[in-house]
Amino acid sequence: MPRIGRWVIALPMALLAIATIYPVLFTANVAFKSRREYVLDRFAVAESFGWDNFATAWTRSGLDRYFVNSLLVTAASVLLLILIGSMAGFAFSHLSFRGSRLLFAGCLGALLVPFQVIMVPFFRVLVDTGLLDTYPGLVLAYVSQFLPFTIFLMTSYYAGIPRDIVEAARIDGNSPFGVYRRIMLPLGRPALVSVAILNALYCWNDVLVALLVMQSSEHRTLMVGITALRGQYSSDIPTFAAGVLIAAVPLLLVYLVFQRQITEGVTAGSTKG
């Protein structure tokens, strides 16, 4: 390290770490407080770590239902994304066929079309196909939104797998699909895990697409449920905080378990070479 006092830098970094973590801890503490405790003293540690606020948010506000909706939609979207994305990634990286460059450019070009830009006509397409306010409608929305990124990552990952392996498998009598299923799918596991986790985070965390596609309240996803909870409990901050914590806990767990895969996925497309 160049000549500069390490601790002169370490101090602001420590302060920033506190600024990063404190708002979350504060909210977690509030979630365990009674309304009276919260009004009297915002900062004191909760007197008794009761679960009343969580029970209220979970059952009476329907978060239980929204939680299951989010799980279903996220799981289905991620499965479809890694299946469709890895198939295309294999074809683009290892099979030569007429029009492949054009199709690949088209798939990447879709990165330029964020959901906000096509939101209005997308709504019309869902109405026309009868997919509005349905689970398949939301799943297709997520798949179409995150597919370009998935294809890009899978293509660049598969491009790093030697062609000889594919050739050998072909000579052993595998069809291209056989090569995909027996060779590429297993070899692609590290990339697939990263892509799956990143896509799961995106789907779980989204609110815009879910607000647009899911019209009826029983189809709400968890994040939409949280925005509704805010209106419902605007004067009962502890219950609102409990709902927020319920929505955040799965993310905290995913982060703790998969931190390495998440950061690898984030950086995979950025700085190769």
User: Which of positions 24-83 make contact with other proteins (CB under 8 A)?
Assistant: 24, 26-27, 30, 42-43, 83
The distance of closest approach from Cβ of residue 71 to other proteins in the complex, given in angstroms and rounded to an integer, is 15
Instruction: Tell me the two tokens of residue 249.
Output: 């806990």
Stretch in the footprint of other proteins (CB under 8 A) among 50-58, 59-67, 71-79, 140-148: 140-148
Angstrom distance (rounded) from CA 178 to CA 173: 9
Distances (CA, A) of 45 to 37, 38, 52: 10, 10, 16
CA pair distance 106, 100, nearest whole angstrom: 10
**Interface residues for other proteins in 176-205 (CB under 8 A)?**
176-177, 180, 201, 204-205
Residue environment code for 55-76, b if the CB has 16+ CB neighbours within 10 A, otherwise e = ebbbeebbbebbbebbeebbeb
Among 55, 111, 168, 257, binds other proteins (CB under 8 A): 111
Q: How far is the CB of 43 from other proteins (least distance, A)?
A: 7
Count H helices, E strands: the chain? 14, 0
Distance between CA 154 and CA 200 in Å, rounded?
16
Query: Does 121 help bind other proteins (rule: CB under 8 A)?
Result: yes
DSSP string, 150-183: HHHHHHHHHHTS-HHHHHHHHHTT--HHHHIIII
Distance in angstroms (rounded) separating the CA atoms of residues 187 and 194: 13
Q: How far is the CB of 155 from other proteins (least distance, A)?
A: 6
The residue among 52 and 272 lying less far from other proteins, judged by its C-beta, is 272
Q: In the set 101, 172, 217, 257, which binds other proteins (CB under 8 A)?
A: 101
From 48-56, 61-69, 185-193, 242-250, span contacting other proteins (CB under 8 A): 242-250
Cα gap 222→135, rounded to integer Å: 14
Total residues contacting other proteins by CB under 8 A comes to 110
Least gap, CB of 7 to other proteins (angstroms): 8
Q: Is 139 in the site for other proteins (CB under 8 A)?
A: no
User: How far is it, in rounded angstroms, from Cα 154 to Cα 111?
Assistant: 15
Stretch that binds other proteins, among 49-57, 71-79, 112-120, 187-195 (CB under 8 A): 112-120
Does 138 contact other proteins by CB under 8 A? no
141, 78 Cβ separation under 8 angstroms: no
Shortest CB 54 distance to other proteins, Å:
15
Q: Least distance to other proteins from the beta carbon of 171, Å?
A: 9
Q: 75 or 119: whose CB is closer to other proteins?
A: 119
Site string for other proteins, 2-21 (x = CB under 8 A): xxx-xx-xx--xx-xx-xxx
Alpha-carbon gap, residue 216 to 210, rounded angstroms: 11
Q: Identify which range of 48-56, 57-65, 186-194, 207-215 contacts other proteins by CB under 8 A.
A: 207-215
Looking at 33, 82, 152, 196, which residue binds other proteins (CB under 8 A)? 152
CA atoms of 243 and 237, how far apart (whole Å): 10
